[in-house]
Amino acid sequence: MHLHLQQSGQSHCLLHRRLIILQSLGISITPVLTALGVGGLAVALALQDTLSNIFSGSTSSPPARSARGTTSSSPAARKDT
């Protein structure tokens, strides 16, 4: 986890350096930042359902094990005869 944060920080610093260099060369960085923001929003909206499914699956707990010979009390498991 620590390595991921370190790499993420390094990539952010590299991006900032590149933007500063572009601005010092007289290139407007506002459209670049706008495009990155809109692109990030589009990706976030596109992945919203997928990420929701991933996180809900990772947070659900496995079913509890019951003792051998016990019966389930759920209505679906009972058969009315």
Q: Is there a domain that residue 23 lies in?
A: yes
Q: Is there a domain that residue 76 lies in?
A: no
Query: How far, in Å, CA of 72 to CA of 66, rounded?
Result: 9
Q: Is there a domain that residue 20 lies in?
A: yes
Does residue 14 contact residue 6 with C-beta atoms inside 8 Å? Answer: no
Q: Is there a domain that residue 57 lies in?
A: no
Q: Which tokens in the block code for residue 58? A: 């990772």
Q: What is the pLDDT of residues 19-78, one digit of tens each?
A: 899 999 999 989 988 998 999 999 999 999 888 888 777 666 566 666 666 665 555 555
Domain count within the chain: 1
Q: Which pLDDT score is estimated for 78?
A: 53
Q: Is there a domain that residue 75 lies in?
A: no
Q: Is there a domain that residue 56 lies in?
A: no
Domain that includes residue 31, residue range: 2-49
pTM above 0.85, yes or no: no
Q: Which tokens in the block code for residue 52? A: 């929701």
